[in-house]
Amino acid sequence: MVEAQTWTTRRMSNPRLDTPATDLVLDVPVTPPGGVRNNTTSTYFPFSPNVLTALIVASWYLSNIGVLLLNKYLLSFYGFRFPIFLTMLHMLSCTAYSYAAINFLELVPFQHIHSKRQFFKILALSAIFCFSVVCGNTSLRYLPVSFNQAIGATTPFFTAIFAFVIICNKESAEVYLALLPVVFGIVLASNSEPLFHLFGFLICVGSTAGRALKSVVQGILLTSEAEKLHSMNLLLYMAPMAALILLPFTLYIEGNVAAITAEKAKGDPFIVFLLIGNATVAYLVNLTNFLVTKYTSALTLQVLGNAKAAVAAVVSVLIFRNPVTVMGMTGFAVTIMGVGLYSEAKKRSKITTH
């Protein structure tokens, strides 16, 4: 404990000061231990950084797998056949929660859109985002989650193609060779999938390609320091744009789905809970992505993403009991292995370049 020090004025140094010298006391705060100084999270959380990181990673897994399982249950088992409307609810949820997280909880500083040019760039990303998410949700009506995740694991393959075609970005031979098992594995899994559905397969591939295209286009459009947005701010702007893009499509393709849902809710109020819970978990996917990157690293998020597909596939098979084959499981494993090899090859390529 550091004792309080007393400061006294020199005699006649300030004749206007009438306060007795004994009252002029300056309390010097105690210097905190090094562990406390280096651990700012302990001020806000009652547990250690390691426990906090473990909780965030667990939340990331739960939200990512949870939204997949909820989407599958709603669209395939519960009978809610409106994937576009469901995606629009996700976007509205992301808008509301993002606004609260940025403006009230102040998780990240709020960033403004500075020009029409930047606005239209974000609008273009929103359109690609819509296409990818709607295709992904629609595919869950026709494909089991395990096969959906196997196809989704091929995202690096499409990213490499779009990067080469759009910005002429050439990777090393090692990187391209690592993509071969990614493609071979999904071909193997497709040929042996008991519940294979051609339309579901095609739109799931479209969703995966759209996700890869968004990442490449985002790197092109938002490159200048003035236009770069934090992921949470980007979601805040993209989500309402995406909802507005989806509105005419859901009305034209799915009809008066809001009235249909309201009528269904009268006989089964549980659907309201399902939709709100599903939309909330959809936002938590984005929030936990940010938190994992903040408390670990982008590389950790990539590694978790590779493992997530396998975990989601196993959990979905246990819950929905969809049939699987040894050849299908082998193909999935080959694809996941290829993604891991691709990540390592990319990392080595960057080290060699620098």
Which residues does 179 contact at the CB level (< 8 Å), separation at least 6? 156, 157, 160, 338, 342
- Dmax (CA) of the chain: 96
Residue 4, C-beta contacts closer than 8 angstroms, at least 6 positions apart:
25, 26, 27, 28
Chain segment 302-340, per-residue pLDDT in tens: 778 778 888 999 999 999 999 999 999 999 999 989 888
| Interval 75-118: pLDDT, tens | 999 989 999 999 999 999 999 999 999 999 998 999 999 889 89
The token pair at 324 is: 């699987």
Q: Which helix (H) or strand (E) holds 59?
A: helix 49-72
Q: pTM for the full model?
A: 0.82
Looking at residue 6, what DSSP letter applies? E
Closest to 208 measured CA to CA, from 160, 172, 250, 174: 160
